Amino acid sequence: MTEASNVELKIWRGDAKGGELVAYRVPVREGMVVLDAVLWVQANMASDLAVRWNCKAAKCGSCSAEINGYPRLMCKTAITEYGQQVTVRPMKAFPLIKDLVTDVSWNYEVNKQIPLFTPSEKDMSSSEPWRMQPNDVDRVMEFRKCIECFLCQDVCHVLRAHDLKSAFYGPRFMVRIASLEMHPKDVLDRRPLLKGKAGVGYCNVTKCCTEVCPEHIHITDNAIIPLKERMDDAYFDPLRSLLRMFGGEQKPGH
Amino acid sequence: MSVAPSYETVETDVLVLGAGGAGLRAAIAAADAGARVLVVCKSLLGKAHTVMAEGGVAAAMHNVAYQDSWEVHFADTMKGGKLINDWRMAELHAKESPERVLELERWGAVFDRTWQGRIHQRPFGAHTYPRLAHIGDRTGLELIRTLQDRAVHTKGVDVHMEVTVFKLLKEGGRAAGALAYRRADGSLVLYSCGALILASGGAGKMYRVTSNSWESTGDGTALAYDAGAQLRDMEMVQFHPTGMVWPAGVRGILVTEGVRGEGGVLRNKEGERFMERYDKERMELSSRDVVARAINSEVLAGRGTPHGGAYLDITHRKPEFIKSKLPSMYEQFLKLANVDITKQPMEVAPTIHYAMGGVRVEAETGATTLLGLYAAGEVASGLHGANRLGGNSLSDLLVFGKRAGDAAGAFVKARPTATRTTIDQAEIDAAIAELMAPLDHTAGESPYPLQAEIQDVMSKHAPIVRDGPELEAGLEKILELGARARSCGTGGSNTLAFNPGWHTAQDLHSLLVNAEALLRSALERKESRGAHARSDHPRTEEDLATVNYVVEKTDDRMRVRAERQPPMPAHLAEVLQQSHARYTPEATE
């Protein structure tokens, strides 16, 4: 074991009415992550320090915060990564409840608006187990890795800077819709949703979400851009518009 | 506080405590039966401990090994559980889990596939055939996400997140409601219901080194016990053989059995593949109790790794294979321990993982001994006996979650007015006063070191190998800690708003009930069986193979008594006798 050293950990303390950064000196143990340090402060210096965490192994996505300004999971960030001074703030894109805990309930409301996985009648009524080739499911596997830490939502400027939660579902739910749309057995057309309430058009492909994803999901390249293409294909393809004009093709979603 | 704080009353048909696999599956089933269902959980939805399940869900679908059948799965489960399992539960579980897995697929879960396009199944400890349907090493995440999406889109299901239940309420001998506080603001809720399903998971937090999260404080067992329901097999807690040991900050975090399922081998510091000496036939894929004790013995014999464990090595596999089959293990070791598992061995040691014991339930319905109260998943007992096989937990959640939901749904249907309860006001006031007490004397002992002390006592006195005098001494200390916990404070703050100090003070009671039940039951079981190993009673007593220890509160005291199981019906006994099938997993690369 190396000699114990200290780190100055500044944690944002307060609620919706206001607050401040409070500094704590934390003895560093080998292999300590930011979450360990925060929990050490809670057990030894500030018993009412509010923080969410569960698995402590980057599998549940509970301990999201902004560490030295960067949206990360506290359980996956070594305390030594930022030297002697570490500042932890709550996610900024969501209303604050207390200290490091924010109100992320909006995300759960959005999820309810996305129609469930919908297989065909034939598949549903078949008594045989489904056959799907590994190649056919590989594509959605990536999206299903999402641990709902909401860091992508936090960093998305449409939600963070412009607070357009009423117009855009955010990267997490683009990933969710992609996982349904690209599922080999799903038959529902979610393009009207993408164009309408989900607002995929709001994303202008800055890839910030991809950069912060702890599961390394290629959110922009593999989920959002293909979804944009699907929607464009249905609504903004000039040839198809012409066809529709002459009644040759129906609008999507009908 | 002189005046009891006010509470909001919420009425529902079926109240489900816990939103892991069992709770969500139960909620869907109860709603499908026509009930209004309310799921209450301590964390956010989708964060329950089920997400930590890695290896897979056990179901005899024979996609990989055509010889597999429910009979073999049943026999594996009974033998792995060292025969004290509830045989009816083991039978139902083995028969129904394939159906439950296929149902998940129809709800949108995406499993790894075989080249013929079927659900792939991997080998796992003490399963005769490759049986675990999986999604890389994140099966639990897929399971919970599928159920979560299904539940929130099921008519009649509502979810209250970050709410902790601290008391079950009865009316005329029937479970009729629960008192809870909202973690965010400390406000109180009285849930009034027709039936109640416990799906609150385990109690790993009574130990220091555990794979469990802060939530696993054994609330369900404690709530049921306090309400007068019986507990069973409380001495049986599982040490998972492979938890991380280094660095200190990550000690206890799970290393999936999938590593061994995919060919990983265990070695001591001398490079010896020591499992040869403990289970020559099954080697690393022996049952968890055997592997955990083997690692423990190697360390005690001075053959442990620098940080007191064993080496788990999978470097003989190709890097691409490791990264595709064990992606989160690769990531976990790289990020948290700076170890590249495609090039270096992992250091592992046993970690507290799972409670086989819990609330006593009836096999078919999950009904507890208290009318209107049901339990499913880790909080319930019976299926796993003295040792759980890997992969049998996720299938347990699905099979018995559904059964409990069906039964609770039918129970309320038969009693349409049961949700409008009149619960004794004095009982409510007393429970609230107890809840609020730590806020009144904030300067009392801090709950954090108290929790740590409980963990230290259990780690020292009820370790992987136990003995009578140590258990006795541990029990004495736990009772003493109980007295201190009753008058503890919050660590200094009296705020109701998201106050983890106050919440931790509440958790102590649950931990203490579980710890006391474990110690008392372990003292009663004078033999070694499965997860329960005693150095002063090293033999497995044949006569105790049909005995379970039942815990109950009588005259305000915890009592433990032995109870003999009814004899196994002939058709099951025959299955058990005939099963000698053995299967050595072959490389499938």
Selecting from B51, B498, B501 the residue whose C-beta is nearest the C-beta of A98 gives: B498
Same domain, A17 and A122: no
> Which two structure tokens, joined as six digits, stand for B506?
């509440």
Partners of residue A119 in chain B, C-beta under 8 Å: 106
User: What is the reported pLDDT for B270?
Assistant: 96
The enclosing H or E element of B456 equals helix B447-461
Class of domain B240-351: alpha beta
B160: nearest CA in chain A?
A: A105
Residue A172: give the domain boundaries: 105-245
> Which two structure tokens, joined as six digits, stand for B383?
């299926």
Backbone angles phi, psi at B158, to 5 degrees: -125, 155
Rg from Cα positions in chain B: 23
8 Å CB contact of A119 and B106: yes
Instruction: Classify residue A252: in a domain, yes or no.
Output: no
Selecting from A44, A55, A119 the residue whose C-beta is nearest the C-beta of B51 gives: A55
> Which two structure tokens, joined as six digits, stand for A208?
């910030």
Residue ranges of alpha helices (H) inside B60-168 are: 70-80, 87-106, 139-152
Domain boundary among A102, A130, A164: A102
* Cα–chain center distance at B428: 29
Instruction: Classify residue A51: in a domain, yes or no.
Output: yes
Domain boundary among A69, A102, A135: A102
Q: With contact defined as beta carbons under 8 Å apart, do A74 and A53 qualify?
A: yes
Same domain, A200 and A94: no
Average pLDDT, chain A: 93
SS (H, E, C) B133-152: ECCCCCHHHHHHHHHHHHHH
Partners of residue A27 in chain B, C-beta under 8 Å: none
A44: nearest CA in chain B?
A: B448
> Which two structure tokens, joined as six digits, stand for A165?
């939660």
Selecting from A59, A111, A130 the residue whose C-beta is nearest the C-beta of B52 gives: A59
**Cβ neighbours of residue B476 closer than 8 Å, sequence gap 6 or more:** none
Q: With contact defined as beta carbons under 8 Å apart, do B234 and B549 qualify?
A: yes
Matching residue, tokens 């596999």: B317
- List A119's β-bridge partners, or say none: A186
CATH at residue A222: 1.10.1060.10
Partners of residue B492 in chain A, C-beta under 8 Å: 47-48
Instruction: State how far residue B151 is from chain A, nearest Cα, in angstroms.
Output: 10
Q: Flag whether pLDDT at A237 surpasses 90.
A: no
CATH at residue A77: 3.10.20.30
Low-confidence ranges of chain B (pLDDT < 70): 1-4, 418-421, 580-589
Name the percent of chain A lying above pLDDT 70: 96
Residues of B that are catalytic: 240, 260
Q: With contact defined as beta carbons under 8 Å apart, do B381 and B221 qualify?
A: no
DSSP state of B586: P
DSSP state of A72: E
Same domain, A172 and A236: yes
Same domain, A94 and A195: no
Pick B441-564's CATH classification: 3.40.1390.10, 3.30.450.20, 1.20.58.100, 1.20.1540.10: 1.20.58.100
Selecting from B51, B152, B493 the residue whose C-beta is nearest the C-beta of A48 gives: B493
Matching residue, tokens 């999986």: B134
Same domain, A150 and A223: yes
Instruction: State how far residue B501 is from chain A, nearest Cα, in angstroms.
Output: 5
Q: How far apart are CA B216 and CA B255, in angstroms?
A: 18
User: What is the reported pLDDT for B14?
Assistant: 97
- List chain B domain ranges: 240-351, 441-564
Q: Flag whether pLDDT at A168 surpasses 60.
A: yes
Q: With contact defined as beta carbons under 8 Å apart, do A107 and A61 qualify?
A: no
Instruction: Classify residue A137: in a domain, yes or no.
Output: yes
8 Å CB contact of A129 and B118: yes
**Cβ neighbours of residue A25 closer than 8 Å, sequence gap 6 or more:** A6, A7, A8, A9
Same domain, A237 and A128: yes
Q: With contact defined as beta carbons under 8 Å apart, do B407 and B30 qualify?
A: no
User: What is the reported pLDDT for B588?
Assistant: 31
Same domain, A33 and A147: no
8 Å CB contact of A29 and B446: no
Partners of residue A56 in chain B, C-beta under 8 Å: 213, 250, 253
Instruction: State how far residue B297 is from chain A, nearest Cα, in angstroms.
Output: 25
State how many domains chain A has.
2
Instruction: Classify residue A62: in a domain, yes or no.
Output: yes
Instruction: Classify residue A253: in a domain, yes or no.
Output: no
Partners of residue B497 in chain A, C-beta under 8 Å: 15, 50, 97-98
Same domain, A85 and A145: no
A30: nearest CA in chain B?
A: B247
Q: How far apart are CA B463 and CA B460, in angstroms?
A: 6
C-beta atoms surrounding B379 within 10 Å:
31
Secondary structure of residue B319 in the 3-state scheme: helix
Same domain, A56 and A35: yes
Task: Quote the ipTM score.
Answer: 0.94
DSSP state of A33: B
Selecting from A59, A104, A119 the residue whose C-beta is nearest the C-beta of B51 gives: A59
The enclosing H or E element of A73 equals strand A70-73
**Cβ neighbours of residue B45 closer than 8 Å, sequence gap 6 or more:** A108, B19, B148, B152, B159, B161
Summarize pLDDT for B398-441 with one digit per residue, the tens. 999 999 999 999 999 998 776 666 888 999 999 999 999 999 98
Selecting from A47, A141, A145 the residue whose C-beta is nearest the C-beta of B493 gives: A47
User: What is the reported pLDDT for A236?
Assistant: 84
- Matching fold, domains B240-351 and B441-564: no
Q: With contact defined as beta carbons under 8 Å apart, do A191 and A253 qualify?
A: yes
8 Å CB contact of B138 and A145: yes
Partners of residue B158 in chain A, C-beta under 8 Å: none
**Cβ neighbours of residue B330 closer than 8 Å, sequence gap 6 or more:** B322, B323, B340, B341, B342
Instruction: Classify residue A250: in a domain, yes or no.
Output: no
User: What is the reported pLDDT for B589?
Assistant: 29
Rg from Cα positions in chain A: 22
Which amino acid is located at A135 in the chain? Answer: N
Instruction: Classify residue A254: in a domain, yes or no.
Output: no
Sign of dihedral through CA atoms B391, A75, B490, A43? positive
8 Å CB contact of B328 and A59: yes
Instruction: Classify residue A12: in a domain, yes or no.
Output: yes
For residue B135, CA distances in Å to B119, B139, B242 come to 9, 5, 20
Q: How far apart are CA A224 and CA A210, in angstroms?
A: 10
Which amino acid is located at B141 in the chain? Answer: L
Sign of dihedral through CA atoms B501, B503, B509, B511? negative
Q: Is B281 left (phi over 0), alpha (psi -120 to 50) or beta?
A: alpha
8 Å CB contact of A33 and B499: no
C-beta atoms surrounding A113 within 10 Å:
11
8 Å CB contact of A108 and B161: yes
Poorest-pLDDT segment among A3-7, A173-177, B90-94, B456-460: A3-7
Q: How far apart are CA B35 and CA B37, in angstroms?
A: 6
Instruction: State how far residue B527 is from chain A, nearest Cα, in angstroms.
Output: 34
Partners of residue B44 in chain A, C-beta under 8 Å: 52, 62, 104, 108
Rounded to 10 degrees, what is the CA torsion of A14, A19, A23, A29? 30
Interface probe for A, chosen from B110, B334, B488, B507 (most Cβ of A below 10 Å), is: B110
Secondary structure of residue B491 in the 3-state scheme: coil
Instruction: State how far residue A164 is from chain B, nearest Cα, in angstroms.
Output: 23
Domain boundary among A67, A86, A102: A102
